[in-house]
């Protein structure tokens, strides 16, 4: 539970810094009144109950893919019972891609808004330092991204205790201020929220775009479920996180009843003057931890996307010998840093970023609801009437939040949509480009079994050693094999055609990984499978082959052959030329398969081929 608090709830735990402030912000929110305050606090309380507790904790977290969660895991579950290649399959896959894109966009906005909102406490403690908020925020963010390559193992043990202290501090601050206006506890009554919506529908609709900020980070509950298990996350939420958040929001409401001018920054203005600097320091630490969790989530999400074929290969470094989930992707890290700094410089204040944040969060929630409905119907086989009631309830709330945030497109809501569109364009182009490339290669390929049978009848000169040809398709001769025969006119004494495949499960047991087909003449076809949260390693592959099939390998006597395709855009059916050029650029800059699969450089032969698509 303590570990889960540090990793899972950092994002949602920093929402009190800016959520209520955004509701009554003069630029983006609604005018302050006591009646509106009761309605807003009631909406916040019930958003935590309905969206987080009821929807995510009790329903979405049941949709686990062998213990793993997240939008891509949910997409894999939804696709499991649908035939590949159908329109329905494509639509669900696109929804999963869009959800991943919005989560990656959230990975840019979360560090920016969280650190900014914490450091803004400096301007409350010492107004003369107001101009230092952005430089200090940028320095903290640069330091955060620079240390990523060292992993979180060294500092991760402090995440849980620091975040736990943060939540206790939220509760203490709330209890200290509820006494100023104890009648605020009536906001627990959902009638305040309902009457506010009925009496002032337009005002309530506008403020919903800010109320959604109280559930930011809700996807982390689901995404990080695999690290800790379902029950520790649930217990941490119900016993610690939810009560502390509720008490703090009630305390902020009481402060506003006693002093409406505190709407400028209700969180920091509820802090006693003597405790202001310690709370600023603690808030900054909490937001750094929240940002760290989001960045680690982005690495994990990109890794899943690569293995599922949605993104080009990237160099992935493992930062822990004991924790296989702790990875570092340099390209993603530095791209995030650049975009986060640009975001901070462009928006300047946390309230300006709140509109952008709301769209990102509500979009992901809406996609999760749609995918969940498919899983409930096809995997859980629940009564359709129960599914209909639950999904319609979730969908109406998510849609209300989403459309309310769309009102703020011109105030910054365009930003996550632009980020999401950019990432989605790259993802769908990569996916489609790989399809076209695969179809082109298969069309021009030779059936493998017939080729080997004929070759063994009149074999070329056979040389000592083992050749491993990595192939994208086990039924066809890989291009590297043809090039080797054409130019060198030899066959190795022992040949393996190796296909590395990704299954739609997070992890695969070792006894399920390998299948081997003996074609005769010391020629074998091997298929090795891994889950979408595992990074394949060629050393483990040959170790398993040796162990399970008694085919020992001497690495110094083994040569790995790879075909490296150079893509040439052509005016042919498939994609627009600009997308083909984008695909060619991504292909050219993708990590080498040899690096991705950890193939020893001194045992590798790469053979290039030019392919028009």
Secondary structure letter of residue 187 according to DSSP: G
Length of the chain measured in residues: 613
288's CB contacts (< 8 A; 6+ apart) are 115, 140, 144
**Residue ranges of the alpha helices (H) in 217-274?**
218-223, 225-228, 230-236, 242-258
Give pLDDT, residue 141: 92
Residue identified by tokens 């902020």 is 252
- C-alpha distances (whole Å) from 97 to each of 73, 91, 305, 364, 476 are 11, 10, 9, 11, 30
CB 293 within 8 A of CB 418: no
- Tally DSSP H helices, then E strands, for the chain: 26, 8
- Distance of alpha carbon 99 from alpha carbon 362, whole angstroms: 10
Encoded tokens for 373: 């409905």
Q: Residue 559 pairs with which residues in a beta bridge?
A: 467
- The DSSP bridge pattern shows strands 317-318 and 327-328 to be antiparallel
Q: Residue 462 pairs with which residues in a beta bridge?
A: 491
Listed in order, strand segments (DSSP E) in 386-483 are 461-470
Q: Residue 604 pairs with which residues in a beta bridge?
A: 560
Give pLDDT, residue 322: 54
Encoded tokens for 347: 């928006």
H or E, element range at 497: strand 490-502
Residue ranges of the chain whose pLDDT lies below 70: 28, 151-156, 320-325, 572, 609
Cα of first residue to Cα of last residue in the chain, in angstroms, is 51
- Secondary structure of residue 490 in the 3-state scheme: strand
Helix 330-347 × helix 87-119 angle, to 10°: 60
Give pLDDT, residue 430: 92
Residue identified by tokens 């893509």 is 567
Q: Residue 610 pairs with which residues in a beta bridge?
A: 566
- Distance of alpha carbon 171 from alpha carbon 239, whole angstroms: 13
- C-alpha distances (whole Å) from 562 to each of 224, 424, 524, 559 are 36, 29, 17, 10
Domains, the chain, ordered by start: 2-412 (1.20.1740.10), 440-612 (no CATH)
- Secondary structure of residue 475 in the 3-state scheme: coil
Give pLDDT, residue 320: 63
Minimal CA–CA distance to 485: which of 427, 446, 431? Answer: 446
Q: What is the mean pLDDT of the chain?
A: 87
Minimal CA–CA distance to 254: which of 312, 178, 360? Answer: 178
């Amino acid at each position: 539970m303590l570990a889960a608090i540090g990793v899972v709830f950092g994002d949602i735990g920093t929402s009190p810094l800016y959520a209520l402030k955004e509701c009554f912000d003069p630029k983006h929110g609604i005018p302050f009144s006591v009646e509106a305050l009761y309605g807003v606090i009631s909406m916040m309380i019930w958003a935590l109950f309905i969206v987080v507790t009821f929807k995510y904790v009790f329903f979405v977290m049941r949709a686990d893919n062998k213990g793993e969660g997240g939008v891509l895991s949910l997409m894999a579950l939804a696709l499991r019972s649908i035939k590949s290649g159908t329109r329905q399959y494509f639509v669900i896959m696109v929804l999963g891609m869009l959800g991943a894109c919005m989560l990656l966009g959230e990975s840019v906005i979360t560090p920016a808004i969280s650190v900014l909102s914490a450091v803004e406490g400096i301007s409350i403690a010492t107004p003369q330092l107001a101009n230092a908020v952005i430089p200090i925020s940028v320095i903290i963010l640069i330091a955060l991204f620079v240390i990523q390559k060292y992993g979180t193992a060294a500092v991760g043990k402090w995440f849980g205790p620091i975040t736990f202290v943060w939540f206790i501090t939220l509760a203490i601050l709330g209890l200290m201020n509820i006494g100023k206006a104890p009648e605020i506890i009536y906001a627990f009554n959902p009638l305040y929220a309902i009457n506010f919506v009925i009496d002032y529908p337009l005002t309530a609709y506008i403020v919903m775009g800010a109320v959604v900020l109280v559930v930011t980070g809700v996807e982390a509950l689901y995404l990080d479920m695999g690290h800790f298990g379902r029950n520790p996350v649930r217990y941490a939420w119900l016993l610690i996180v939810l009560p502390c958040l509720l008490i703090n929001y009630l305390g902020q409401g009481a402060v506003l009843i006693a002093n409406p001018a505190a709407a400028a920054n209700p969180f920091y203005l509820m802090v006693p003057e003597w405790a202001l600097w310690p709370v600023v320091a603690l808030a900054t630490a909490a937001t750094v931890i929240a940002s760290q969790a989001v960045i680690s989530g982005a690495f994990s999400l990109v890794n899943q996307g690569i293995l599922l074929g949605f993104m080009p290969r990237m160099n992935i470094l493992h930062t822990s010998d004991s924790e296989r989930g702790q990875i570092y992707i340099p390209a993603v890290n530095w791209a995030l840093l650049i975009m986060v700094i640009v975001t901070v410089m462009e928006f300047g204040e946390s309230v300006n970023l709140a509109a952008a944040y709301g769209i990102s969060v509500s979009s992901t929630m809406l996609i999760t609801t749609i995918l969940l409905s498919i899983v409930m119907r096809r995997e859980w086989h629940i009564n359709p009437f129960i599914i209909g009631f639950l999904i319609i309830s979730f969908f109406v709330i998510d849609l209300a939040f989403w459309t309310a945030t769309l009102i703020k497109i011109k105030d910054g809501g365009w930003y996550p949509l632009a980020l999401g569109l950019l990432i989605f364009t790259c993802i769908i182009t990569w996916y489609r480009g790989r399809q076209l490339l695969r179809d082109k290669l298969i069309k021009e390929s030779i059936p493998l079994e017939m080729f080997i049978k004929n070759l063994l009848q009149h074999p070329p000169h056979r040389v000592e050693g083992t050749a491993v040809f990595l192939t994208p398709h086990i039924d066809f001769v890989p291009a590297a094999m043809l090039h080797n025969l054409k130019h060198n006119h030899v066959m190795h004494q022992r040949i393996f055609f190796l296909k590395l495949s990704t299954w739609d499960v997070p992890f695969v047991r070792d006894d399920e990984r390998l299948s081997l087909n003996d074609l005769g003449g010391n020629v074998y076809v091997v298929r090795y499978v891994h889950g979408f949260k595992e990074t394949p390693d060629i050393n483990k592959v040959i170790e398993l082959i040796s162990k399970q099939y008694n085919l020992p390998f001497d690495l110094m006597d083994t040569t790995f052959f790879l075909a490296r395709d150079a893509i040439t855009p052509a005016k042919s059916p498939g994609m627009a030329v600009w997308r083909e050029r984008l695909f060619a650029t991504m292909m050219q800059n993708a990590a080498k398969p040899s690096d991705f699969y950890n193939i020893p450089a001194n045992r590798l032969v790469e053979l290039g081929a030019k392919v028009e698509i």
